Amino acid sequence: MTVTPMAAPAPQTTGAHPRGRGRRSPLASLGLHATLIVASLIAVFPIVWVLLSSFKPGHAVQSSELTLVKEPTLANYSYVLFDTSFPTWMVNSVVIALCTMLIGILMSATTGYALSRFNFPGRRHLLLVFLVTQMFPVAILIVPIYQIMAALGLINTHAALVIAYLTIAVPFCSWMLKGYFDSIPTSLDEAASIDGAGPFATFWKVIMPLARPGIAVTAFYTFLTAWGEVAYASAFMQTDDRFTLAYGMQQFVPQFNAQWEYLTAAAVLVTVPAGLVFLYAQRHLVSGLTAGGTKG
């Protein structure tokens, strides 16, 4: 990975490039900021547009007239919050997502640690299996999993969804955390074991606190997986009081004549908790996520 020596010693270096990294011409700075601002606008805009629309009355949402906010109203929110089962769904979703998150972190952290530190028989197979699990189309697994859940008597319970979401999130998270643990020097483990700590104590007291960025990303990923999933929720949950938000919201979109004004308000309310988890995790996202990738 050495840099190929430049044949010609670049005569144009008096132009835009002689400055080192961090020192660039005002024009380049302007271009950089402009590009980033445009990109940020595109990234944020659909969310903002839904947010704005959620404050409009129904007829304004469904008009082709371009307005930012006209006749702002909270009617959509009050309808969604008080005249539907939305609060129940919200509680269901929070419970399921938090359980998935906690169990998911615990499972993928122990697995990731074992994969990173111990060269046990079966290790390479397991890593391969994690990749293969990503290839299964969820839509196809639903029926067999439904039958298993039915056999276990778990249909229409939160546990069914938590377990199903764990199967989606844990392989990726274990694999990602393995990469993160790889980046923590093993000398720390050795020091702990000289001090008499067993593998479990080492893991729990020494490595886990150091792996906080990785854990934060796992938390984010598992929470979001559980929060936004629709297919399993629609298959396993049967009564209105057990629906999750993602599935319950579908009721606002019948095949024809969608109630867009309620949908936008519900969408905002659904996004807020996910956004909070995101704000907590985002500082760690960059360092936490990639360690897994660099090791392959």
Residues 70 to 99 in contact with another protein, rule: CB under 8 A: none
x-or-dash pattern for another protein, window 214-243, by CB under 8 A? ----------x--xx-xx------------
Closest by Cα among 129, 142, 228 to 170: 129
* Span near another protein by CB under 8 A; candidates 70-78, 81-89, 171-179, 185-193: 171-179
Phi, psi of 197 (to 5 degrees): -85, 135
- Of 22-30, 74-82, 84-92, 184-192, the segment contacting another protein by CB under 8 A is 22-30
Of the pair 75, 231, the CB lying nearest another protein is at: 231
Q: Considering the complex, state which of residue 226 and residue 242 has its C-beta at the smaller distance from another protein.
A: 226
- Give Cβ neighbours of residue 113 (< 8 Å, ≥ 6 apart): 177, 178, 181, 203, 207
- Which burial class, exposed, middle or buried, applies to 8 when counting CB atoms under 10 A from its CB (0-12, 13-18, 19+)? exposed
If one asks whether residue 110 binds another protein (CB under 8 A), the answer comes out as yes
Torsion over CA of 115, 116, 117 and 118, rounded to 10 degrees? 30
Per DSSP, 155 falls in state T
Exactly one of 86, 243, 260, 262 binds another protein (CB under 8 A); that residue is 260
133 touching another protein, by CB under 8 A: yes
| The one segment of 68-76, 77-85, 193-201, 204-212 that binds another protein by CB under 8 A | 193-201
Identity of the amino acid at 62: Q
Q: Which residue among 65, 82, 187, 256 contacts another protein (CB under 8 A)? A: 65
Please select the residue that binds another protein; options are 92, 100, 111, 222, rule is CB under 8 A: 111
Token representation of residue 204: 């729990």
Q: Which has the closest alpha carbon to 246: 270, 222, 276, 277?
A: 270
Tokens representing 226 are 């559980």
Q: Which of 53, 76, 222, 259 is in the footprint of another protein by CB under 8 A?
A: 53
| 151 makes contact with another protein (CB under 8 A) | no
Q: For the chain, first and last CA: distance in Å?
A: 17
CB of 101 to another protein, least distance (A): 14
3-state secondary structure (DSSP) of residue 97: helix
Q: Residue 134 interacts with another protein (CB under 8 A)?
A: yes
- Taking CB under 8 A as the criterion, the residue among 14, 26, 46, 254 binding another protein is 46
